[in-house]
Amino acid sequence: MKLQCRFVTQDWDGLTPGLLNRQYDAIMAAMEITDEAKEKIAFSKPYIRMPSAFVASAQSDIKDTTPAGLKGRSIGVESGGAHQNYLDDLYKQSEIRPYATLEEAILDLAEGRLDLVIGDKDALSDFLKTRKEGQCCKIVADAPHDAAYFGNGVGVGLRKEDVALTMMFDKAIDETMADGSFAKLQSKYFDYKIN
C-alpha cells in the first residue's frame, strides 16, 4: 500500500472502541469477520480462512470424513464452539463427545477412546508437532469450509466511513495473492493453505 505505518498495542477488548475513537486506523489482530462485529465496523476481504481438520490415530485407515463416512464413529470436539455446532447439526449418526479443551480430546484419541477429533488445523498441527503425545495421530482430512459455522475468515477491521482505506486494503490483499507474496509469507509459518 506504500503507506507509513505506526503500530499501536491495544488489549483485545479495547480494539473496536479504540478504532472507533480514532486511536488507530485499522485492526490487524486476527479478528474474525462476524455479523456481530460487522454491526460496528467494516472489514477488508478476508486474508485468512483457517481450515478445520479431522485427526485420527496414526494407524487409522479413515479416508471418508463425510457424515455418511463417519456413521457410528466417535468424534471428540472442544465443547461449546463452532466445531461442536457443526458436528451436532451435520454428523447426527456419529457419537459426538464434547471435551473442555481440544487437548483433552486429542489425549483421549491417543488412548484409543475416540475415532477422530475435529478442530482448527493450526491448533491440531501445533499439538501434533510439539507434544510427545501428538506422535499418536495424524491429520486425515480438512473439513469443508462452511461459513455458517466457521465464519468468513479473518480480515482487517476498519471504520465503516473509511471506504477508500478499505478499498486500499482489498486491493493490496488481491495483489499479494496474485503475485505470490502471500503464499511465500504463508509458507514461513504454515505448511498448508490458510486462505
Distance CA 82, CA 102 (A): 13
**Contact status, residue 156 vs residue 28, Cβ threshold 8 Å:** yes
Distance CA 34, CA 17 (A): 16
Residues 44 and 118 in one domain: no
Mean pLDDT of 5-24: 95
Distance CA 89, CA 150 (A): 13
Q: Sorting pLDDT into bands at 50, 70 and 90, what band is 103?
A: very high
pLDDT at 150: 87
- Find all residues with CB under 8 Å of 85, minimum gap 6, and list them: 149
The dihedral through the CA atoms of 111, 115, 119, 125 has a sign that is positive
Provide the mean pLDDT of the chain.
Answer: 93
pTM above 0.85? no
Domain assignment of residue 120, yes or no: yes
Residues 38 and 82 in one domain: no
Longest dimension (CA), the chain: 56
- C-alpha grid cell, residue 18: 479504540
Mean pLDDT of 59-88: 95
Per residue in 132-155, pLDDT (tens digit) is 888 889 999 999 888 888 888 899
Mean pLDDT of 174-190: 89
Residues 107 and 63 in one domain: yes
Domain assignment of residue 104, yes or no: yes
Mean pLDDT of 121-137: 89
Per-residue pLDDT for 187 more than 90?
no
Per residue in 23-69, pLDDT (tens digit) is 999 999 989 898 889 999 999 999 988 899 999 999 999 999 999 99
Distance CA 74, CA 140 (A): 15
Residues 32 and 58 in one domain: no
Mean pLDDT of 182-190: 85
pLDDT at 124: 94
Q: Give the closest residue to 51 by CA, choosing from 157, 148, 131, 124.
A: 124
pLDDT at 147: 87
DSSP labels for 53-112? Answer: EEEEETT------STTTTTT-EEEEETTSHHHHHHHHH-TTSEEEEESSHHHHHHHHHTT
Residues 100 and 128 in one domain: yes
Per-residue pLDDT for 192 more than 80?
no
Q: Which domain holds residue 33?
A: 21-49+152-161
SS3 content of the chain, % helix, strand, coil (to 5): 40, 20, 45
Q: What percent of the chain has pLDDT over 90?
A: 75
Residues 60 and 117 in one domain: yes
Per-residue pLDDT for 107 more than 80?
yes
Distance CA 50, CA 152 (A): 10
Residues 33 and 79 in one domain: no
Per-residue pLDDT for 191 more than 80?
no
